[in-house]
Structure 1
């Protein structure tokens, strides 16, 4: 069947990067299995087993030469994917046929390969996260003092700045970045543990020499770039590790969903928009529309990734004793697709955050409509400083505010609270220009942006740069 007659996963055909798709592809996975068999044989030879240089050289020379049709034929016969690939490898490295997989169980290749792929996948995600954070940091700096309405309960609240709001998005991704680095720092190899984690087969190979078995475990890990192995395992490494990784990926998806949702709300208010291409079509029917399609796509992908965490949690919780096999089919789906989903949404986030469009006049108009209500405390204090009675002035403001609000809500007219107060002789000495300066209402928001970027974000990002928009195909 061609790709046009059968279902093809959109994560591969539409959304994820080629790098991430190839990471979880068969060539990478099964050549990693072969790498593990090679490293195991090298370590076993170095520790005294009868394995020759010729055998290892033949394995190395054919590591990438995988006959997938032959492997499929073997799997149909054996109903066992690992043994199918042992035989397929033996066909192209015949001198090594007898020592491939020596002393190992299937999880030596499947689990260790999974950990290698997870490590490299997290490395790709880290690059994308740096890109998003770099773009948001630059945007926050540029918009540090652009005053805008703040919102609580999705209702107008005390003003903030566009840059400070961007720092809220950035801080979420920063927390994800810290968690990712922790996961990378603590990720270990399963190592050489045997069928139930006891290393019995390797102890037999080395005639009861416990120290050589321990050395074998360490040597295999070090040659694959790991400083440590998990100290104890059953047949598999603990599926708690998978749960931790999917929790991390879900956290990144949550941050992206929150940011993209905010951008959709701001697009609705016509205050900030995602980039819109010259020939982009927003709607097939309504030609005037500029829908936030990329932000919506981010939210859709994020929801999918977030939904996968329960799979990892339940898989870990239901692994009986030293292991069961009901994890296998589930993990083939959830782990790669979580990485592919996060890869896709972060690439979208890089594109969106690199081209955000701000409309200061619309922001100013929205602010001016609500500022009179928010400025009443400053007006009250200014009038008191000029000799007014605080309680009397408070009552006048209350009455004027209610009248203005009624006019806005029931008649659809502009807010005339300031005109009412200016016309009230009790406020005749107020310096209106000073009390209505929007910058007086944002507190330390601009300074918070500078401090957050200079003291927290930039030291963590270092000299890393976000990928250019040209490098991100969305």
Structure 2
């Protein structure tokens, strides 16, 4: 886990202490089910419930000898269970009945935290989109000025991308929120399926329908892919903000404290470091997703190759996705928008961004489209070289234009259709 990017609530789900507490919870629930079935004596249950969650240090002591974390955990846990009742713990179970069932519960809780930040990000994007729906700016394709748009529409595009990510992540949560308590190779040879049903129901988990010894890892790959896609969507937001913060553009500025210092050498620097951080973290999420794909194919009923990978990628991916989505919401929520600079940039090319309207008006007036295109293109090239306004260059070529052809509003007359679609995001389930 990367402490720099781990927020407290997510970090708390992935500590060794939390893991062993979740393992104890599974063992206690399994014992309760076994008592109901008459397999474990009822008098053992209070002692099992009173057993202490072992410390990581104590588990490590046993593991140095046994070289098996689950057996080390069981030894450390059962030594605190009175009157020899510890012998009933883990009755009929195998290691990954414990590990994967507890893991499903932790993954579901982690998904909930990421979803909460993603929902917040969507809400912030919608709110700022409404605020700037009429803030006119230039759209760019291939990095080049294209036609007028609004900053609100830019933000709405990102809001819908986040919304799709939320849908994917909710589906992935359902996929991983499962457990299995089915014995050594998933045949329930030594344990009644009722134990599995009881434990998973109490933990809010589904059941792996046909288990091997583990929960199928395609579920976890789906989850990691959903996190990576959310990361890529947030990355796109960060990239847009970085591009708009360049000195020669300067249309927005990410929030900074009064004590901010951008460079150890250059006091004037105001760097888009938060947006850059958002972008960099997305690269890690994609790498973790690839590792999860590698974990899908296990030998026969299982092998252990996935285990060391998951010890790294699960806590890291969740802490990063949680941090990244939350940080993006903070940046968008407190973003400074320089609308005056947007208008200045809109006119920086001296009317070139209105060339499509001039072209269409010529075609509508009866001109051949290709001929009209070449005429307007040649005038645009000349204006680029001379700095003369496109309207004046066209006039020199005998083409009469009107002021209305060079107004942003001519491009934005139907934007209420888009706003209606965007505002519906406020009505979706949160």
Q: TM-score, normalised by structure 1?
A: 0.84
Task: Map 1:148-187 onto structure 2 (within 5 A).
Answer: 148-187=137-176
SS of corresponding position for 1:375: helix
CA distance in 2, matches of 1:395, 1:31: 73
1:345 aligned partner: 324
Count of residues in correspondence between the two structures:
426
Q: Which runs of 5+ in 1 are unaligned?
A: 1-8, 203-212, 408-413, 463-474
Per-residue deviation, 1:443:
4.8
**Larger deviation, residues 297-306 vs 118-127:** 297-306
Question: In the TM superposition, what whole-angstrom CA distance separates every residue of 1:59-87 from its partner, at most 9, and x where no partner exists?
Answer: 32344x42333222111111111111111
Distance 2:152 2:358 in 1: 27
- Aligned twin of 1:106: 95
Task: Determine the structure 2 residue equivalent to 1:405.
Answer: 384
- The CA deviation at 1:90 is 1.2
**Structure 2: where are the runs of 5+ without partners?**
none
Contact kept? 1:41, 1:51, Cα under 8 Å: no
Which residue matches 1:85?
Answer: 73
Are 2:180 and 2:211, in contact at CA under 8 Å, matched by a contact in 1? Answer: no
In 2, the alpha carbon distance for the partners of 1:384 and 1:107 equals 71
Q: Does 1:298 align with 2:278?
A: yes
User: Structure 1 residue 26 and structure 2 residue 4: aligned?
Assistant: no
Alignment of 1:88-237 (within 5 A): 88-95=76-83, 96-202=85-191, 213-226=192-205, 228-237=206-215
Q: Distance in 2 between matches of 1:384 and 1:83?
A: 80
Q: CA deviation at 1:425?
A: 6.3
Counterpart-to-counterpart distance in 1, 2:423 and 2:241: 25
**Alignment partner of 1:74 is 2:42:** no
For 1:123 and 1:371, locate their aligned partners in 2 and report how far apart those are by CA, in whole Å: 50
- The alignment's C-alpha RMSD in Å is 2.3
**How many angstroms apart in 2 are the aligned matches of 1:453 and 1:384?**
33
Which of 255, 258, 267 lines up with 2:233 in the alignment? 255
The whole-number CA distance in structure 1 between the counterparts of 2:250 and 2:258 is: 18
Aligned counterpart, 1:206: none
CA distance in 2, matches of 1:188, 1:277: 40
Query: By how many angstroms is 1:415 displaced?
Result: 4.1
Q: Is the 8 A contact 1:380 1:390 kept in 2?
A: no
8 Å Cα contact 2:133/2:151 also seen in 1: yes
Deviations 1:367-409 (A, max 9, x none): 1123622323434666788x897789777645433321222xx
Contact in 1 for aligned 2:179/2:215 (Cα 8 Å)? yes
2:87 aligned counterpart, secondary structure: coil
Secondary structure in structure 1 of the residue aligned to 2:140? strand
CA distance in structure 2 between the aligned counterparts of 1:393 and 1:231, rounded to whole angstroms: 66
Q: Aligned match of 2:390 in 389, 397, 417?
A: 417
In 2, the alpha carbon distance for the partners of 1:221 and 1:381 equals: 64
- TM-score, length-scaled by structure 2: 0.92
Partners of 1:38 and 1:60 within 8 A in 2? yes
